[in-house]
Amino acid sequence: MDGRTESLFAADGAAPDAYASVVVDIPARALSDPFAYAVAPALAGDIAVGCTVLVAFGHRPAIGYVVALADSIDELPGAEGLAGKRIRAIDAVLTEPVCSAYAGAVAYWMSREYVAPLAECLRLFLPPGGTPRLRHAADGSYELEPPAVPEVRERVVSLTPAAADYLPPARAVRQRQLMEALACGPVTTRELNLLYTDLSAAIRALEKRGVVEVRERRAWRGIDDQTTLSSARSSAPAALTAGQSAALGEIERAVDDGADDVILVDGVTGSGKTEVYLAAIEHVLAAGRTAIVLVPEISLTAQTVGRFRSRFGGAVAVFHSRLSAGERLDQWDMVRTGAARVVVGARSALFCPLSDLGLIVIDEEHEQSYKQGSSPRYHAREVAAQMAHLGGFPLVLGSATPSAEALHRCRVGEYLGQRWCRMEMPERAGAGRLPDVIVADLRREFAGGARSIFSRPLREALLEVAERREKAVLLHNRRGFAPFLMCRDCGCVPTCKHCSTALTYHERTHTLECHTCGATYRVQPYPAPGSACPKCGSRYLAKMGMGTQQVEDALIELMPPEAKVIRMDADSTRGKDAHKRLLEEFDAAESAVLLGTQMIAKGLDFPEVTLVGVVIADYALKMPDFRASERAFDLLEQVAGRAGRGERAGKVIIQTYLPDDPVIRAVAAHDRAIFTSHDDAERAEALYPPYVRLTNVVARGRDDARVRAYIGAVARAVMDEADVLGAGAGTGEEPVRLLGPTSCVIERAKDQYRHHFIIKSAPGLDISGALFRAVERVGAKPGVKLSVDVDAYDLM
Ligand code: ADP
Ligand code: ZN
Ligand code: ZN
C-alpha cells in the first residue's frame, strides 16, 4: 500500500449502495463509537456485518469491523445527522464475517458499562490470531499482515466399497495392516503412521486400486485430552431429585418462553448441579440451539470436561488458558462452523461465535476469576446477563456458596429489569450425605504443648483413613498468603525496591521474589550465617508461614507407607498435563492423601474420599478485603464438599485459631445463614456491595506529582458529572460518594507511582456514563495511564 488514503467513494460517480457502521481498530483511541462509512456498489456483494474491512481513518489506513449495515444513512444507528457528502467509502473488504451483529451489540454494551475502548471490547469476539492486521513500517507506510495462526489440514484414509472384494496378496503385509486399521472406520494418516511405521507406500498402492480413498480436511487441534478418570464418564441418572426437577423445570420454561431470566441454582456440593446443567443443555440442543458453560479456570479439568464430552460427544469445544494458539483457533472454528454446539470454558468462552445461542450456564458463579483483571475489566456474570437479555434466553448461575450480589438480587426478585430467582437444592443427590464437620481449636492444642502441624483429631483421622484403605484430601491454602521473611527483632518485612509489595520467599532457590514486577533478590534467611535484616541488621530474618512441602514432609512421616501422599500445588503442576496426571494417580491409588492448595478444593468428585482436613483456616480469614470472609467461606464449604460423596460417610476437620469466627461456625453447622446474616449486616453497615457499587479509578506514571494532579482532575470531573446524576436520584442517602484520591495500597509498581480514588454509588445509577463523560472531558495526559475498574474486586 502506498499510504494514500484518499477515499474512492463515488470516484466513478455511482451512488453508494449502502452504509456501514465500522468499529475502527486503533488501540490508542480511548472511547470510540462506530464510524459511518459508505459501501461502494463494487463492494456491496461482499460486505456483511462482521466483515473485516480496510478504511481510511484520518490520514492513515486502518482495519475496521462492520457492526451494522443500512440502506440509507439515516437508518444507520449512531450516524444521525451525518451528511452523505462527508462520508468516506470502505476501501476493501478483507475477510468474511468474523463476528455477528449480536457480538457487536454486546461489545458496545461492554464498552459503555466498563468505560473501555469499543475496539478493545469487540476484539474479544474475534477469532484468536485469525484476523489480518496492519503493520506500520518505519517509513510511515503500512502493510497488511495475514492472520498469524495458520490452519492445519489433515488427511483421512478410509476404505471404499471396493475393499469388500479385495484381498491383498499374501506378501503385502503392509496392505493387510492398513486394511485392518481401517476396518472400524476412517483414520488420519498421522495416526496410521504413529501406529505403524510408514504406511504411505501401502496407502498409495491401495488408492491406485480404488480400495482406499484419501480425503483432506481441516484438523481440529485441542480435542485430544483423554483421561482415565472414572468420574469423567457420566451417564444420566435414572431419575432426578425433586430439587433438580424443580430447577430444571424453571430453566426449561424460561428457554421455551425466550425469557431473559437469571436462575440461580443454589445447591449444596454434590446436590447434582452439573446434572441440571447437562439436562438443560440437552433441552436447548433438542430445540436446535447452542449453549455456553463457564467454569472457573482452576476447575476446568479433564474431569469436568470429560463429563460434558461423554454426554455430548464431539459437539463440545473447550477453551482454557493452557491451549496453544493453534488449538485455540481450531476450537474457535469448531464453534464457528457449527461442528461444536456446546462450549465449555473459562471466562473468555463467552465470546466465541456460537450461532443461535439458547443458554449460558455459569458454574461457581461466586468465583472471583470471572472478573477480568485487565481492560476491559468485565465480570462474566454481568456480561452473560446482558447477553441473555439481548439474546432472549435465560442465564443459569450455579453455586453452593452464591455471591452476596446474586443472593441480594434474588431476594429483591429483579436487577436492572431482569428477573432473578433462586432454586434451592439443599440435599445431596444419590448416595452421598453431607459430612460431619469438626473444628480443631489450635489455641488449645498449643496451650497443651502440642507443636505438630496436625492436631490430635486430624492425626487420628488420617491414620484411620490409611487403616481402612480410604482416601483423604488435605487443604493447605496459601492464596494471598505466600511465605515471606520477617525480622524477629524489628518486625521488618523486606519489600521490593521498585514496588512497595512484600516479597515472597522461595525456599528452593533461596530468593525473594516480587509478584508485582518479577524482580528477584538472593537471600540467606536465618539460621544461615549470611542473613541480615535490611533495616536493623539483626540476623533473625526468618521465614513465616509454612509451605505445602513442609506439610508434605510431616505427612509422609505420619502416614504408613501403603498410603500414598500426592502433593498438588503450583510447583508440582507446572507441566502441561501434570494436574491431570496427579489426579489420575490419586484416582488409581488404593489409599492416598491428596495434599494441595486451593486448586484441590473445587470440583473434584472422588467417592472414596472420606476425610477432608484443613491445615489452617486462618490465612483465608485474615486478608484485608471485605470479600475475604465470603471467599474463606466458599473455600471451606467447597473443600468440605469433597468428603462423603460416595456410599461411605465423610468427615471434615478444620484446624483454626479462630473457632468463633462466623465463617467457621457456619461451615461446622452446615448453616450458611450464620455467615451470610453476619456478612450482610456488615456490608450494609459499611456500605459495600451489594448495597453500593464500587468503582476503582487508578492513575499511574513515573512522575508522582503529575499522576497526583491528573487523578485529582479526574476525581473533580467525576463529582461534577455525579452531581447531575444525583440531582435526579432524590434519595436521602448520598447517591455517589468519592473516597480519595489517595495513593494506592501498592504505592509503586514497576517504578510507577499509583494513585486512586474509589466511588461508592447507588446500584441503579449510571455511574459508568458519568465516568465516561468525565474521562472524555479531562482527556489524556502524556506519561500518565488511567484505568477504570467498574464493580472492582481488587482495590489495592
Ligand atoms: P454438584 O455439581 O452439585 O457438585 P454433581 O452434579 O457433580 O453435583 O453430582 C454429584 C454426584 O451425584 C455425581 O456423582 C452425580 O453423578 C450424582 N448425581 C447427580 N444427580 C443424581 C441423581 N438424580 N441421582 C443419582 N445420582 C446423582
Ligand atoms: Zn530488623
Ligand atoms: Zn517489584
Give yes or no for residue 271 CB within 6 A of ligand 1: yes
Taking Cα atoms as reference points, which of 26, 7, 122, 20 lies closest to residue 78?
A: 20
pLDDT value at residue 85: 55
What integer pLDDT is reported at residue 309 of this predicted model?
A: 87
**Comparing C-alpha atoms, which of 442, 438, 391, 388 is closest to residue 415?**
388
- Indicate if ligand 1 lies below 6 Å from the C-beta of 275: yes
Residues with a beta carbon under 5 angstroms from ion ligand 3: 496, 498-499, 514, 516-517, 519
Cell numbers that stand for 254 in this block = 424460561
399 and 264 Cβ atoms separated by less than 8 Å: yes
Residue 457's pLDDT is what?
93
Q: In the numeric block, which cell numbers belong to residue 380?
A: 462474566
State if residue 273 touches ligand 1 by the CB under 6 angstroms criterion.
yes
Spatial contact of 494 and 512, defined as CB atoms under 8 Å apart: yes
Cα of 315 vs centre of ligand 2, distance in Å, is 60
- State whether the beta carbon of 644 lies less than 6 angstroms from ligand 1: no
Q: How far apart are CA 391 and CA 106, in angstroms?
A: 10
Does residue 474 contact residue 689 with C-beta atoms inside 8 Å?
no
Ligand nearest, relative to CA of residue 486? 2
Cα–Cα distance for residue pair 256/287, rounded to 1 Å: 9
CA distance 95 to 292: 26
What integer pLDDT is reported at residue 3 of this predicted model?
Answer: 37
- Output the CA 493–ligand 2 centroid distance in Å: 8
* SS3 assignment, position 20: strand
- Give dist(CA 297, CA 474) in Å, integer: 21
Pocket test for ligand 1, best of 235, 274, 278, 423 (most atoms within 8 A of CB): 274
Query: Closest ligand 1 atom, CA of 276?
Result: 6
Ligand nearest to the CA of 540: 2
CA 512 to centroid of ligand 3, rounded, Å: 10
Closest CA to 426 of 784, 673, 65, 154: 673
514 CA → ligand 1 middle, Å: 42
CB of 244 closer than 6 A to ligand 1? yes
What are the residues whose beta carbons fall under 8 Å from the beta carbon of 717, sequence distance 6 or more?
773, 774, 775, 777, 778
Would you call 373 exposed, middle or buried from its count of C-beta atoms within 10 A (0-12, 13-18, 19+)?
A: exposed
Measured in Å, residue 482 CA sits from the centre of ligand 2 at 20
Give the model confidence (pLDDT) of 202-250 as tens digits. 888 888 988 888 888 777 776 655 545 555 556 778 899 999 999 999 9
| Minimum CA distance residue for ligand 1 atom 9 | 272
> Residue 225's pLDDT is what?
52
- Using a 6 Å cutoff on CB, does residue 274 contact ligand 1? yes
Report CA(541)–ligand 2 centroid distance (Å): 7
Task: Please give the full DSSP string across 698-767, using - where no structure is assigned.
Answer: EEEES-HHHHHHHHHHHHHHHHHHHHHHHHHH--SS-SEEEEEEEEEEEEEETTEEEEEEEEEE-TTS-H
pLDDT at residue 405 in the model: 95
Neighbours of 451 (CB within 10 A): 6
Torsion sign, CA atoms 487, 489, 491, 495: negative
CA distance 411 to 388: 20
**What is the pLDDT at residue 9?**
40
Is 0.85 surpassed by the pTM of this model?
A: no
pLDDT-flagged residues of the chain (< 50): 1-13, 227, 479-481, 728-731
Q: State if residue 591 touches ligand 1 by the CB under 6 angstroms criterion.
A: no
CA of 495 to the centre of ligand 2 (A): 13
Nearest CA residue ID for atom 15, ligand 1: 272
> Are 63 and 134 contacting, i.e. CB atoms less than 8 angstroms apart?
yes
Handedness of CA 778, 780, 782, 787 (dihedral sign): positive
What is the residue with the minimal CA distance to atom 14 of ligand 1?
A: 605
Interval 85-94: pLDDT, tens: 578 889 889 8
Distance CA 746, CA 66 (A): 41
What residue's CA is closest to ligand 1, atom 25? 430
